[in-house]
Copies of this chain bind each other. A is one copy, B any other.
Amino acid sequence: MRLYAGLMSKVTGKSPLVFAFGRRTDGHADMRDVLGGKGANLAEMSRIGLPVPPGFTIAAEACNHFHAHDGDLPGGLLDEVEVALAEVEEQQGRCFGDAGNPLLLSVRSGARESMPGMMDTILNLGLNDATVQALAERTSDARFAWDCYRRFLQMYGGVVLGVRASSAHLPDPFEDVLAAARRMAAVQSDGDLDAEALMQVASRFRDLIEARTGEPFPQQPQAQLWGAIRAVFRSWMNERAVLYRQRYRIPRDWGTAVTVQAMVFGNLDDASATGVAFTRDPATGEKTLYGEYLVRAQGEDVVSGARTPRPIAEMANEVPAIHRELDEVRQTLEQRLHDMQDFEFTVESGRLYVLQTRNGKRTGPAAVRIGVEMHDEGLIDRATALLKIPADAMDALLVPVFDPEALGNATQIAAGLPAGPGAASGHVVFTSDEAQRQARAGNHVILCRVETSPEDLRGMLHADGIVTTRGGVSSHAALVARQLGKVCVCGATSIRIDYAERALTVGDVVVEEGDVISVDGATGAIYAGAIASTDSEVRRVLSGRREAAGSAAFARYRTVMDWADECRRLRVRTNADTPQMARQAIEYGAEGIGLCRTEHMFFGGERIDTMRQMILAADETQRRDALAGLLPFQRQDFTALFRTMAGRPVTIRLLDPPLHEFLPADERVRHALAEKLGLSIDYIAERTRALTEENPMLGCRGCRLGILYPEITEMQARAIFEAAIAASSGADAVAVAPEIMVPLVGFAEELADQTAIVRRVAEEVMADAGREVDYSVGTMIEVPRAAITADEIARVAEFFSFGTNDLTQMTLGLSRDDMGQFFDSYVEKEIYAGNPFASLDEAGVGRLVTEAVRLGTGERPDLKLGICGEHGGDAASIDFCHRAGLDYVSCSPGRVPAARLAAAQAALRAAQTSR
C-alpha cells in the first residue's frame, strides 16, 4: 500500500505528519515550519533532482504532541512512518531489519533554525547482531561492517540510551573500551583495529549498555528507530536546548522535526569519501566551491579532527568527475535556495550523494560580499540582499585589522569563533579587578574567561579584547562585546583557563596573567605576543587615507549603505560628546547628534575643579561665580561641536548625573581641592556626605538639579545659545539649530520650569546678538511616569528622546550596576529572554514607548521622536523603533553603519508584514 501524504490526510481526515522525499517528494523548501530546516532542504534538493538518498521527515507538530501528552506519540504516526519506510525500502531495494539485505538509516533532528544542544545524528541505525553480518557479506568487508556497528552502538548508547560519563571529569565509557582494545591490539588509532578486535569492542559495548541501562541493547530495528525518534523529541526539551531557545527567543512550540534517511557509506571503499562544502568561501565571500573532504570516511571523521581533511580543490585533480558534479550541485543549490549553502556530501563507491544543505555561516565581510554579489548575479533582489546581511556585519568592515606583514610572522596558539570583529593585542587578565587595574595603568588588556556573565561587565569595559573558552557567537560575551565594540573570540575550546594559577594553557603552551597575546576577532585566531594592527581598508577610505577607486571592499560597503539609505525611514544619529566623536560618526553616515552629554565636558583639567567649586558653593552667589567660570568652556565646546556638525541637528542634554559623582573620592585629591578652593577638608567631607544618596539613580539628578539650582540651567542655556551665535557667524559660518533636551522629566511641570529658563536665556542672548537662532526644547522620556503622561508632557516638549537605559532600569526596577548577583540565575531559569539592557524589552519597556508615542503625537502630531539609549545601536531594538514610529535612532559612532542597515531591514520587514 502506497499513499501520498496528501492522500493519507484525506483518508484519515488529519494533516499528514510524515513527508517523504526521494522518488516522490511531499515537501519543499518553504516548509521549514513543518519539516525543519534540514527536512525542507532535503525535500527541495530531492524535488530538483539532486542525488539525495531517499527518506522521510516527521513534522515538528509530532514533537509538540509528544511533549504535550507526556511522551505519547500522535495517533496515526506509526502507520504513516510504516508507509514512508516501505517506500524507502522499495527505492533502495533493501529491507529495514532484513537479515539478508538490510536497509540502514540515519536519524536527525531538525528545527526551523539550527540549534545547538539538540540531538544531532544517529548513523547506521538498523544494524544488529544479524544485519551486521549481512552488511559484511554485501560489502565483502567485515572490518567495515563491524566498524559501522560499533559506531552505531556507541552513538545510540550515548545519545538515545544516555550511557555517558557520570561526571565531566571522567572519560566517556565507550572511549574507555576502545582505549583498552587499542592497548590490547597494541595500535595507536581506532582505524588500525581489525574486524576481530572491533567485533569484541561491539560485544563489550553491548555489555556496557546492558550494565548501565539494565536492559539489553535493542536488537529490533523498529525499536531502535522509535527509540531514536523519541530521543530527538526529548532533546528538544533538554537543558542546553531550552537555554538556547531562551537566549535567542525561539518559541518552545516550534518543536523539532525528525528526518529519517537511507544510509550511504563514505567509508565503504577507496572510491568512497565524505565531505563538507560551501557554495562560496565563508571567510571572504568569494564565489568558489570551498570545503574539505576525507576519502573512506563517515561524516563524523571530518568533524572529529582525528584525520586532517583535504581541501576540496584537490578533488579537481584526483576525481575530476565528482568535483564537476559538486560544482554543479553548488550552482543548482544557489539557484534554488538563493543563499550561500553549506552542504554535506558522501561518495559511495564513486557515486555522489548530497546528505543535507543549509544556509552557510559566514564572517561579516563575507556576508557583505555575498549579499552584494548575489544581487549583482541576479540571484536575489535588493531587499533580500539587505535582509541577508546581519547588521553587525558592517562593524567587521570598519574595525582595525592586524597588519598583514606582522601577521605573517606571528605564532597562532589557538582559535575560536569570531564573535566581535577587530584586532587587539594586550596583557592577559582573568578578572575584572585586574582588567581595571591594568587599564588604569595604561595597559591594553585581553580579558580571558571560561564564560562571561554580567558580573564581568566591568572587566569587559576595561578590556580591548575578550576571549572565552566556552559559548558561541551568540553567548553573553559575544553579545556584549559587539555592543561595546570590543574584539572578541568565543568558544576557544582548546584553551584551558586555571583561575587559581592565573594562567591559561593550550597544549603545552602556558600563558600567564600579564603575558601579551593578540586576538583576531575577524578570524577567531589567537596569537602569542603583540601584533601591529592597522585601520581596515574601508575605514581608510572613509577617513580619506586611501582612494576609493580600486577598493572592492569599499565599493561593497558603499553599495550596501546606499541601498540601506534608500530603504530606511529611520534617521540615524549618534551619541557624541566631542568634535572628534562627531567627526568619526559623520564619516560613518551619522545624520546628526541624538545625545550630547554635557557633563562629560566638565571633567578634565581645571574644569573639574571649577565644577567642584560650583557644587561646594555655600550659596547661590558663590555658585553663580563658579558657573561663570564654566561658561567659557561650555561655549567653546558647543561652538566646536556645531561647526563639526555643519548644520546637522544636535541634541544637547542638560546636566544629568548626581553632583556627588563630580566630587573626589580620593583623600589626597580632596586635600588638594580643599587647599585650592580655600575650603576646610571637613566642609568638603560634610558636603560630600550630604550629597550621598541611598539610591542615586532615583535621587537628585537630571532636571531636579536644574530646578533646585536654576542658575545651572541658565549657564548651560547661555553657553548653547552663545555658541550657536558664534558658530553661525563669520566666514566659516554653519547653520545651527540646537535641540535642548531636559533629562529625567516625570512631570510636565518640570519640563515647563526648565523650558521657561531656556527660552528666557535664548531671548536674552539673541537680543544681545541681534540675531535669531532656530532651536527647540524637548525631553528625555526615561522615567516611566513621563511615558504614562506623555500627552501632558507633549504640550510642552517639541521632541521626545527615549532614554531607554534608565527607562529600562526604572520600568523593570532593575539597577544595571546591581544585577550581577542574580542575573545568571535569571538566565538559567529562563526568566529574562535576554539582557534587557542590550536588547529592548518589548513587552514591558516597549509598551511604554508605544504608549508614549501614541499619547505624545495625539497631543502634538509633529512631535519629533528618537531614541538615545544604548538600544539605539541594537538591530532588534532598531526594528522595534521602526515599528513604534520613531523618527530616528541614535547610537555610538562605530554603530552608525550597522544602525543604517538595521533601519533598512526594519523597513523592509515591515513592508513584507504589511503586504
Contacts and interface: CB of A to CB of B under 8 A. Distances in A.
29 contacts: A693-B815, A694-B696, A694-B697, A694-B815, A694-B818, A695-B695, A695-B697, A695-B698, A695-B815, A695-B817, A697-B698, A698-B810, A698-B818, A699-B815, A699-B818, A699-B821, A700-B818, A704-B826, A707-B825, A708-B825, A746-B814, A746-B844, A784-B813, A785-B812, A785-B841, A785-B844, A785-B845, A788-B844, A806-B813
A818 B695 contact: yes
Contacts of A844: 746-747, 784-785, 788-789
Contacts of A817: 693-695
A238 B629 CA distance: 36
A813 B693 CA distance: 14
A298 interface: no
Given A707-B822, A818-B698, A746 B812 contact: yes
A843 interface: yes
Interface stretch (A51-59, A601-609, A614-622, A828-836): A828-836
A710 to B, nearest CB: 9
B753 A829 contact: yes
Contacts of A841: 785
A749 interface: yes
Give the top 3 A-B pairs by smallest Cβ distance, nearest first: A699-B818, A698-B815, A785-B844
Contacts of A815: 693-695, 697-699
Nearest to A831: B749
A499 to B, nearest CB: 17
B813 A785 contact: yes
Residue from A700, A788, A789 whose CB has the most chain B CB atoms within 10 Å: A788
Contacts of A847: 788-789
A783 interface: yes
A708 B814 contact: no
Contacts of A783: 811-813
Contacts of A812: 746, 783-785
A744 interface: yes
A26 interface: no
A785 B849 CA distance: 12
A848 interface: yes
A792 interface: yes
Interface size class of A (residues with CB under 8 A): 35 or more
A809 interface: yes
A195 B190 CA distance: 132
A373 interface: no
B747 A832 contact: yes
A841 B782 CA distance: 18
A750 interface: yes
Nearest to A694: B817
A707 B819 CA distance: 13
A818 B784 contact: no
Copy number in the complex reads 2
Given A694-B817, A817-B693, A707 B829 contact: yes
A747 B831 contact: yes
Nearest to A792: B843
Contacts of A749: 829-832
A14 to B, nearest CB: 30
B788 A848 contact: yes
A830 B750 CA distance: 9
Contacts of A819: 699-700
Contact of A810 (B693, B707, B784): B784
A387 B749 CA distance: 32
A781 to B, nearest CB: 11
Given A693-B817, A783-B812, 15 more contacts: A691-B821, A697-B813, A698-B698, A698-B809, A698-B818, A707-B831, A744-B813, A746-B812, A746-B844, A747-B844, A749-B829, A753-B829, A784-B813, A785-B812, A785-B844
A810 B848 CA distance: 14
Interface string A751-779: 00100000000000000000000000000
A56 to B, nearest CB: 37
A574 to B, nearest CB: 26
Contacts of A806: 813
A843 B707 CA distance: 21
Interface string A841-858: 101110110000000000
Nearest to A705: B822
Given A707-B826, A822-B700, A811 B792 contact: no
A829 B708 CA distance: 10
Nearest to A814: B698
B698 A813 contact: yes
A700 B821 contact: yes
Given A697-B694, A700-B818, A788-B847, A811 B810 contact: yes
Nearest to A826: B707
Contacts of A848: 784, 788
Contacts of A810: 698, 784, 810-811, 813
A830 B756 CA distance: 14
Contact of A811 (B694, B708, B785): B785
Contacts of A826: 704, 707
A813 B831 CA distance: 24
A847 B699 CA distance: 23
A783 B822 CA distance: 17
A831 B785 contact: no
A759 to B, nearest CB: 16
Contacts of A707: 822, 825-826, 829, 831
A457 B516 CA distance: 56
Nearest to A841: B785
Interface in A148-167: none
Contacts of A782: 813
A732 B830 CA distance: 45
A712 to B, nearest CB: 13
Contacts of A750: 831
Residue from A750, A784, A792, A845 whose CB has the most chain B CB atoms within 10 Å: A784
Contact of A818 (B693, B814, B832): B693
Contacts of A708: 821-822, 825
A111 B711 CA distance: 36
Interface in A478-513: none
A812 B789 CA distance: 11
Contacts of A694: 696-697, 815, 817-818
B822 A704 contact: yes
Contacts of A809: 698
